[in-house]
Homo-oligomer: A and B are copies of this chain.
Amino acid sequence: MSFNKRIKIKKLLENDHIGQDATIMGWVRTKRSNKNVTFIAINDGSTINNYQVVADPALIDEDILKKVTTGACLKINGRIVASQGAGQQAEISASSIEVLGEADTETYPLQPKKHSLEFLREIAHLRIRTNTFGAVFRVRHALAFAVHKYFNDKGFFYIHTPIITSSDAEGAGETFKVTVLDIKNPPLTEEGKINFKEDFFEKETNLTVSGQLEGELAAMGLAEIYTFGPTFRAENSNTARHLAEFWMIEPEMAFYDAQDNQDLAEDFLKFVISYALENCKDDLEFLDKRAAEEETTKKADQRSEMGLIDRLKFVVENEFQRITYTEAIDILRNSNHNKKKKFQYLVESWGVDLQSEHERYLVEKHFNKPVILTDYPKDIKAFYMRQNDDGKTVAAMDILFPGIGEIVGGSQREERLDYLTKRMEEMNIPTEEMWWYLDTRRFGSTPHAGFGLGFERLVLFVTGMGNIRDVIAFPRTPGHAEF
């Protein structure tokens, strides 16, 4: 006996099913009754839209209808009929209702009223059942699928780079240690140091901060690859933009130079955002309204000029503006914003790193389109970026979006063994430990490039949510590893 004979609400809403018998299952959102009839709004997660169930008290037992409360799970058999009420074309006239699981109104936390996002974060195991989070996670899914589809269609290969690693040569930040040693009584060497020879991997290991270096290894055989996996930062940053555990997408391509890299990144971002616009219409319309309501709670000067869907179209429809870091510094230095000291950090000299306020000024005020900033000073960028002929800059790029600033960071990689080893020595990166990385430049090296996209940043941008903790199911932040 198979239980799952239901039709999904998404399917029901796509076509005209009037006159058909159907079974639907889902969770009660609301119920309203008068003495002649009970209306139940059911949601089954397939779409943001509920389906209306009409229950005639003459047919459905009173004891059952009592158990139909917000959050309860129901199985409804009935016939699809044209709806008399406003708001829907069709509804199901119930011939039977089975309560699969009750939800006590006294104790079920998700009652039909507005809950704060902070409160919902504490019950992240239940928030997936709300309209907002249902929409967010359906959009997140669509974006993840779009990532895979984009790269697969272009002939890229998905590589799973390691999560546990013994290399932290990139120095991208604080790492989490991974160990099976007894932390209280670790084995010691004769010199009194911890004897990692007795640990699981017989050396010190940590959680990866990036799959890029391993991705480069794969690109030297498969030419075009991408990663899509979790990465970790043990930084004590309690902000709305930082997670300790987040998912990164990192394509690496042999035979690409800096311009090829920029072309790919722009095309990629436009594809995945277009995909969401096409495939998540209902969810994005809901999130657009939600974001607009949030805006009204902000001060006038902090409000966004564009609505959510407008902002997504803005990215898809505009050619990204490409300028060098040096040009950007000139623009910023000469801006009225800088002269009137409206920036928190004034832009004075070439060589400084840009702040989020500067990035947003370029995107939202000066160019009014997404910006690809290129050719940064080598001293503020990583060792593996290809050095330009000027001796001062590297072939880096950052892509800047309205509202959130940097969404992509990448570069042409330094493929010349002598330049690379010299730069590593200057930056005190141990070349011996990185023999395997250098091997790619020693044998069959080639111009190549790549970039990284923090997936949650993308989901944040596309859903219009304000806090990165609200776009991943179970966020990990300082002090928080629940569920």
> Chain A interface (Cβ within 8 Å of chain B)?
1-4, 6, 8, 10, 25-28, 44-46, 71-73, 100-104, 107-108, 110, 125-126, 128-130, 133-134, 137-138, 140-141, 144-145, 148, 152, 155, 157-167, 174, 176-181, 183-184, 186, 193-194, 200-203, 205, 207, 214, 217-218, 220-224, 229-230, 232, 234, 236, 244-245, 247, 253-257, 259-260, 263, 415, 436-437, 439-447, 472-474, 476, 478-483
Contacts and interface: CB of A to CB of B under 8 A. Distances in A.
Contact of A137 (B108, B125, B222): B222
Given A103-B444, A163-B245, A158 B176 contact: no
Contacts of A158: 140-141, 144-145
A162 B104 CA distance: 29
Contacts of A73: 254, 444-446
Which 7 A/B pairs are nearest by Cβ-Cβ distance?
Answer: A101-B445, A128-B221, A3-B257, A45-B222, A129-B221, A201-B481, A45-B223
A433 B52 CA distance: 37
Contacts of A162: 245, 473-474, 476, 481, 483
Contact of A444 (B27, B155, B167, B221): B27
B217 A255 contact: no
Given A133-B221, A138-B157, A202-B479, 15 more contacts: A45-B221, A45-B254, A100-B444, A103-B443, A107-B443, A125-B436, A137-B218, A145-B148, A145-B158, A166-B481, A178-B207, A201-B244, A201-B479, A203-B481, A214-B483
A140 to B, nearest CB: 8
Contacts of A161: 473-474
B141 A157 contact: yes
Contacts of A205: 481
A259 B3 CA distance: 8
Contacts of A144: 148, 158
Contacts of A203: 481
12 contacts: A4-B256, A125-B436, A129-B444, A134-B222, A144-B158, A145-B152, A160-B230, A164-B481, A176-B180, A180-B234, A201-B244, A214-B483
B194 A439 contact: no
Given A194-B183, A220-B129, A436-B125, A234 B200 contact: yes
Contact of A259 (B2, B165, B247): B2
A101 B129 CA distance: 55
A132 B230 CA distance: 28
Contacts of A145: 148, 152, 158
A200 B218 contact: no
A10 B463 CA distance: 38
B166 A482 contact: yes
Contacts of A207: 163-164, 178
B443 A473 contact: no
Contacts of A101: 415, 441, 443-446
Given A158-B144, A223-B45, A180 B184 contact: no
Nearest to A174: B180
Contact of A443 (B108, B436, B440): B108
A217 B100 contact: no
B186 A155 contact: no
A201 B230 CA distance: 17
B214 A134 contact: no
Contacts of A193: 184
Contacts of A443: 71, 101-104, 107-108, 110, 126
A224 B141 CA distance: 12
A183 B187 CA distance: 10
B3 A260 contact: yes
Nearest to A160: B247
Contacts of A184: 186, 193-194
